[in-house]
């Protein structure tokens, strides 16, 4: 049996045809196969570093890295953590902030027991008892002296009248106020003193009429009046002598 002869051109055409058949994908679904390791490529993701990573940053820094590096290197080795979707847009606190706030709340709960908060009470002034007022009145001096100016050195008439209101300031020196005691003159006359002299003052505890004390009030002419009036008299005498000399000179 003789073999058909095949020309070189026919052989080459057949080889090309067979090669094209081998390279054609079956059903359009066969892809090229590669034995090399997959590259660390993909969509960038946001991670928060848990330790210092050269080229990326320090703990707490949030950086974008490729998904492959985050999935195969950073996250498994605890170098970084995934940043949740809510935290990316500021919709939730970071883990560090959550842990910090939880610790603060825990310390507050230990330091502050669960007791209802009391509303501040209104200020109520302390009112002294009648016994305490009686003790203060007993310590009040039996005599009060006041030095006031008169209209002249020889007159007993005061320039300004003296009233019970002037004694109110003295009460404060002994821890008393006009709300604690009643003041009145024993003689029942006008509360004004217009001349130098003495009057008897009655201090009575409010609400307890039987407890009272009598105090002698003495109004004196101030010692400064003597010198001031002496100077005025000397000035008047000098002016009178000057006027007399002027009149005698004019008569000559």
Residue 6: the pLDDT is 47
Q: Look up tokens 């842990």; give the residue.
A: 99
Residue 249: the pLDDT is 61
Contact between 180 and 128 (Cβ < 8 Å): yes
Residue 34: the pLDDT is 47
pLDDT beyond 60 at 18: no
pTM of the model as a whole = 0.39
pLDDT beyond 60 at 101: no
pLDDT confidence tier of residue 39, bands split at 50, 70 and 90: very low
Cα-based angle 167, 168, 172 (whole degrees, multiple of 5): 115
Q: What is the CA radius of gyration of the chain?
A: 57
Q: Ranked by mean pLDDT, which of 96-100, 120-124, 201-205 comes out on top?
A: 201-205
The encoded tokens of residue 62 equal 């949030």
Q: Ranked by mean pLDDT, which of 46-50, 108-112, 225-229 comes out on top?
A: 46-50
Residue 109 φ then ψ, to 5° = -65, -30
CA 155, CA 149: separation in Å to the nearest integer?
10
- What the chain holds in terms of domains, given with CATH numbers, is 44-97 (3.40.5.10), 130-227 (3.10.430.100)
pLDDT confidence tier of residue 79, bands split at 50, 70 and 90: very high
CA 74, CA 32: separation in Å to the nearest integer?
30
Closest CA to 48 of 37, 32, 59, 36: 59
pLDDT beyond 50 at 1: no
Least confidently predicted of 66-80, 137-151, 202-216: 202-216
Residue 2: the pLDDT is 47
Higher pLDDT, 153 or 49: 49
pLDDT beyond 60 at 184: yes
Contact between 105 and 112 (Cβ < 8 Å): no
Higher pLDDT, 244 or 142: 142
CA 27, CA 185: separation in Å to the nearest integer?
129
pLDDT confidence tier of residue 36, bands split at 50, 70 and 90: very low
pLDDT beyond 70 at 240: yes
Q: What is the pLDDT of residues 185-219, one digit of tens each?
A: 888 888 788 888 888 988 887 765 567 888 898 98
CB atoms within 10 A of CB 134: 16
Closest CA to 142 of 189, 73, 203, 186: 203
pLDDT confidence tier of residue 37, bands split at 50, 70 and 90: very low
Please count the CA atoms within 13 angstroms of the CA of 198 that sit on its side-chain side.
8
Closest CA to 202 of 194, 191, 151, 193: 191
pLDDT beyond 60 at 166: yes
The encoded tokens of residue 31 equal 């892809």
CA 111, CA 109: separation in Å to the nearest integer?
6
The strand pairing partners of 64, in sequence order, are 46
Q: Ranked by mean pLDDT, which of 1-5, 122-126, 174-178 comes out on top?
A: 174-178
Sign of CA dihedral 162, 127, 213, 174: negative
Residue 33: the pLDDT is 46
CA 222, CA 162: separation in Å to the nearest integer?
14
CB under 8 Å, gap of 24 or more: what pairs does 128-133 form?
128/180, 130/205, 130/207, 130/208, 130/211, 133/176, 133/180, 133/181, 133/205, 133/211
């Amino acid at each position: 049996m003789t073999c058909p002869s095949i020309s070189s051109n026919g052989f080459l055409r057949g080889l090309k045809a067979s090669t094209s058949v081998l390279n054609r994908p079956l059903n359009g679904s066969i892809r090229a196969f590669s034995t090399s390791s997959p590259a660390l490529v993909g969509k960038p993701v946001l991670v928060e570093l848990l330790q210092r990573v050269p080229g990326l940053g320090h703990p707490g820094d949030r950086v974008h890295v490729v998904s492959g590096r985050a999935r195969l290197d950073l996250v498994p080795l605890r170098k970084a953590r995934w940043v949740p979707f809510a935290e990316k847009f500021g919709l939730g606190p970071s883990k560090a902030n959550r842990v910090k706030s939880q610790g603060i709340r825990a310390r507050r709960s230990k330091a502050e027991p669960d007791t209802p908060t009391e509303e501040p009470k209104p200020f109520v002034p302390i009112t002294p008892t009648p016994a305490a007022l009686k003790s203060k009145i007993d310590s009040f001096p039996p005599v009060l002296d006041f030095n006031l100016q008169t209209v002249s050195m020889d007159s007993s008439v005061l320039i300004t009248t003296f009233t019970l209101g002037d004694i109110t300031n003295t009460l404060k020196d002994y821890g008393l106020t006009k709300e604690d005691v009643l003041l009145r003159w024993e003689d029942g006359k006008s509360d004004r003193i217009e001349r130098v002299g003495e009057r008897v003052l009655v201090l009575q505890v409010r609400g307890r009429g039987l407890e009272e004390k009598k105090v002698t009030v003495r109004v004196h002419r101030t010692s400064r009046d003597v010198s001031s009036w002496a100077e005025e008299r000397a000035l008047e005498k000098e002016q009178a002598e000057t006027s007399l000399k002027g009149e005698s000179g004019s008569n000559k």
